[in-house]
């Protein structure tokens, strides 16, 4: 079966055409011993096939992602969705030629009502955990679920007025808990479903969103301008 997913230690810096610039860079840093957090890269070929085949992924991709996710759990000694020692991941875009800020990114994926308890226990910082959760919900809600960013910002500003504070950093932990619940209600109102709690569902839909961002207006415009400028 064709290889569609490379763990960071399986690639090299000269594989930009396969891994994209970011993936090749992470592979090279891993190869020379720089202690970067480990992960895996889905090849650029998958994106080509995705658009060529009416947004259908090549056969075998899901299994390779699952295999590499298990490897990441082993290397990190964390569990994806684990309530006590949760693994959180980022889903980022990459291409052979740099396209800074043009495609979408989702950070802290894997956070939910259960795994946040593990983050609290690990960090001993409840406010940090809930601040991370509300940021993830806002990013995922916008990038993956298609909810306007301003709707989350409106709820944030509304809460700051209620608490009589000016800065996000002045919102205490109890305030962030309230914000998380309000974000959940917003998601339910906007898409008719609860905010996704299953980490593997979060991962699958985030991967879809990043691939789809290849053809967003800003990405297409950027590539057109880049080609015109040579």
Pick the CATH number of 110-230 from 1.20.80.30, 3.90.330.10, 1.20.1050.10, 1.10.1300.10: 1.20.80.30
Mode of pairing for the β-strands spanning 40-42 and 89-91: unpaired
Q: Which band of pLDDT confidence, cut at 50, 70 and 90, is reported for residue 224?
A: low
pLDDT at 108 (0 to 100): 96
| Residue 86 Rama label (left phi>0; alpha psi -120 to 50; beta) | beta
CATH superfamily ID and name for 1-77: ATP-grasp fold, A domain (3.30.1490.20)
What pLDDT does residue 213 have? 78
Tokens 């259960």 belong to which residue? 114
pTM of the entire predicted model: 0.88
In whole angstroms, give the CA distance from residue 107 to residue 73.
Answer: 17
Per-residue pLDDT of 33-42, as tens digits, reads 999 999 999 9
| Domain positions in the chain | 1-77, 110-230
- Is residue 203 very low, low, confident or very high in pLDDT (cuts 50, 70, 90)? very high
Q: Which two tokens stand for residue 94?
A: 């990459």
Average pLDDT over every residue of 42-46: 96
> What does the pLDDT look like over 69-89, one tens digit per residue?
999 999 999 999 999 999 999
DSSP type of residue 8: G
Q: Is 50 exceeded by the pLDDT of residue 102?
A: no
Residues pairing with 157 in the sheet? none
How far is it, in rounded angstroms, from Cα 142 to Cα 161?
23
């Amino acid at each position: 079966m064709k290889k569609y997913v490379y763990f960071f230690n399986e690639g090299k810096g000269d594989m930009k055409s396969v891994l994209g610039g970011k993936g090749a860079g992470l592979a090279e840093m891993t190869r020379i011993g720089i202690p970067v957090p480990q992960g895996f890269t889905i090849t650029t070929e998958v994106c080509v096939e995705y658009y060529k085949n009416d947004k259908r992924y090549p056969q075998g991709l899901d299994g390779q992602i699952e295999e590499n996710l298990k490897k990441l759990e082993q290397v990190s000694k964390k569990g994806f969705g684990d309530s006590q020692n949760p693994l959180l991941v980022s889903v980022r875009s990459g291409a052979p030629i740099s396209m800074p800020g043009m495609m979408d990114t989702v950070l802290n994926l894997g956070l939910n009502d259960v795994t946040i308890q593990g983050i609290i226990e690990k960090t001993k910082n409840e406010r940090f955990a809930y601040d991370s959760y509300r940021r993830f919900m806002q990013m995922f809600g916008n990038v993956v679920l298609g909810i306007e960013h301003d709707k989350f910002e409106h709820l944030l500003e509304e809460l700051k007025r209620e608490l009589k504070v000016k800065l996000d950093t002045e919102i205490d932990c109890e305030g962030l808990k309230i914000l998380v619940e309000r974000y959940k209600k917003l998601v339910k109102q906007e898409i008719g479903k609860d905010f996704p709690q299953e980490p593997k569902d979060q991962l699958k839909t985030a991967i879809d969103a990043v691939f789809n961002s290849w053809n967003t207006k800003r990405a297409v415009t950027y590539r057109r301008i880049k080609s015109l400028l040579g």
